[in-house]
Chains A and B, each alone.
Chain A
Amino acid sequence: MSPSTPVLEAIDETLAVKRPAFEVIYDWVTTVDHKKIGIMYIVYALIFMLVGGLEAILMRIQLAVPNNHFVSPQVFNQLFTMHGTTMVFFFGMPILFGFGNYLVPLMIGARDMAFPRLNAFSFWVSAFAGLLLYFSYIGGSGLYAAGSAPDVGWFAYAPLTAKVFSPGHSTDYWTLAVLLSGIGSIGTALNIVTTIVCMRCKGMKMTRMPLLPWIYLVMSSMVFIAVSPLTAAQIMLLLDRYIGSHFFDTQAGGSAVLWMHYFWIFGHPEVYILVLPAFAFMNEIIPVFSRKAIFGYPAMVAATVAIGFISLGVWAHHMFAVGLGPVGNTLFVFSTMVISVPTGIKIFNWLATIWGGKVIFALPMMFSIGFLFQFLIAGLTGIMLSAAPFDWQLTGSYFVVAHFHYVLVGAILFATFAAFYYWYPKATGRMLNTTLGKWHFWLFLIGFHLTFDFMHIPGLLGMPRRIYTYEASRGWGTWNLIVGIGAIFQAVAVCIFAYNLIRSYFRGEPAGHDPWDAWTLEWATPSPPPTYNFAHDPTVNSRRPLWDLKHPEDPDSDYE
Chain B
Amino acid sequence: MMTTTSTIPISTDSETSWQLPYRGTVGMVCLIIAEAAIFAIFFVSYIFYLGKSLTGPTPREVLEVPILGTICLLSSSITVHWAVSALRKNNLRSCTLGLASTVLLGAIFLATTAQEWYHLIHDDGLTIRTNLFGTTYYSLVGLHATHVIVGLIMLSIALGVSLTGHIKESHSEKLEVLSLYWHFVDAIWVGVFLVVYVIGR
Q: Does A197 contact B (CB under 8 A)?
A: yes
B145 CB to closest chain A CB (Å) equals 14
Hey, which chain A residues are within 8 Å of B30, CB to CB? 189-190, 193-194, 224
Interface size class of B (residues with CB under 8 A): 35 or more
Question: Helix, strand, loop or mixed for chain B's interface?
Answer: helix
Do A246 and B129 contact each other (CB < 8 Å), given the known contacts A9-B3, A229-B37, A236-B45?
A: yes
Most buried by A among B20, B33, B34, B54: B34
**Which residue in chain B gives the minimum CB-CB distance to A220?**
B30
Contact A7 B41 (CB under 8 A): no
Stretch among B9-17, B85-93, B151-159 lining the A interface: B9-17
Chain A hits for B22, CB < 8 A: 198
In the bound complex, CA of A203 to CA of B27 (Å): 23
A245 at the binding interface (Cβ < 8 Å):
yes
Rounded to whole angstroms, the CA-CA distance of A306 and B44 in the bound complex is 25
Task: Return the chain A residue nearest B135 by Cβ.
Answer: A245
A200 within 8 A of B: yes
For residue B194, CB closer than 8 A to chain A, the reply is no
Closest chain A residue to B5, Cβ basis: A536
Q: Is the CB of B48 within 8 A of A246?
A: no
Chain A residues with CB below 8 A from B40, complex form: 228-229, 232
Q: When A239-B135, A245-B129 are in contact, do A253 and B3 touch as well, CB less than 8 Å?
A: no
Cβ of B171 within 8 Å of any chain A Cβ, yes or no, is: no
Q: Which residues of B contact A538 (CB under 8 A)?
A: 8
A40 within 8 Å of B by Cβ?
no
Contact A198 B38 (CB under 8 A): no
Knowing A232-B38, A539-B11, A539-B14, the reply to whether A11 touches B3 (Cβ < 8 A) is yes
Residues on A with C-beta less than 8 A from B36 are: 228
Q: Which residues of chain B come closer than 8 Å to A536, judged between CB atoms?
A: 5, 8
Q: Contacts A536-B5, A541-B9, A545-B8 given: A254-B26 contact, CB under 8 Å?
A: no
Q: Which of B20, B49, B134 contacts A197 (CB 8 A)?
A: B20
**Are A194's CB and B54's CB within 8 A?**
no
- In the complex, which residue of chain B has the Cβ closest to the Cβ of A113? B23
Known: A6-B2, A245-B129, A252-B54. A197 touches B139 (CB 8 A): no
Whether A134 is near chain B, meaning CB under 8 Å from some CB there, is no
Residues from 192 to 245 in A contacting B, C-beta threshold 8 Å? 193-194, 197-200, 202-203, 221, 223-229, 231-233, 235-236, 239, 243-245
Task: State whether A190 touches B135 (Cβ < 8 A).
Answer: no
- Which residues of the partner chain B approach A252 to less than 8 Å between Cβ atoms? 54, 131-132
Contact of A229 among B8, B41, B54, B136 (CB under 8 A): B41
Chain B residues near A235 (CB, 8 Å)? Answer: 139, 143
* Residues in chain B near residue A99, CB distance under 8 A: none
Interface status of B64 (Cβ within 8 A of chain A):
no
Give the nearest-CB partner of A232 in chain B.
B41
Of A191, A229, A244, A541, the residue contacting B38 (CB under 8 A) is A229
The residues of A that contact B132 with a CB separation of less than 8 Å are 246, 252-254
In the assembled complex, how far is the CB of residue A528 from the closest CB belonging to chain B, in whole angstroms? Answer: 16
Q: Mark B113-131, 1 if CB is under 8 A from A, else 0.
A: 0000000000000001101
Find out whether the CB atom of A227 lies under 8 angstroms from the CB atom of B21. no
Q: Determine the distance from Cα of A5 to Cα of B8 in the docked complex, in whole angstroms.
A: 11
Complex alpha-carbon distance, A535 and B9, angstroms: 15
Q: Does A47 contact B (CB under 8 A)?
A: no
Most B CB contacts (10 A, CB to CB) among A198, A262, A513 go to A198
CA distance A262 to B37 in the complex (A): 11
A182 to chain B, nearest CB (A): 10
Let me know if A539 and B9 touch, CB within 8 A: yes
Residues of B within 8 A of A227 (CB): 34
20 sample A-B contacts, Cβ–Cβ < 8 Å, listed by A number: A6-B2, A6-B3, A9-B4, A190-B30, A197-B20, A198-B21, A199-B23, A224-B34, A229-B37, A232-B40, A236-B139, A239-B135, A246-B135, A247-B136, A253-B52, A254-B132, A262-B41, A265-B41, A539-B10, A540-B8
Q: Which 10 A-B pairs have the closest CB atoms?
A: A228-B37, A244-B129, A6-B7, A232-B41, A245-B135, A224-B34, A190-B30, A228-B38, A194-B26, A224-B33
A: residues with CB less than 8 A from B are 4-9, 11, 114-115, 186, 189-191, 193-194, 197-200, 202-203, 221, 223-229, 231-233, 235-236, 239, 243-247, 252-255, 258, 262, 265, 513, 524, 535-536, 538-541, 545, 548-549
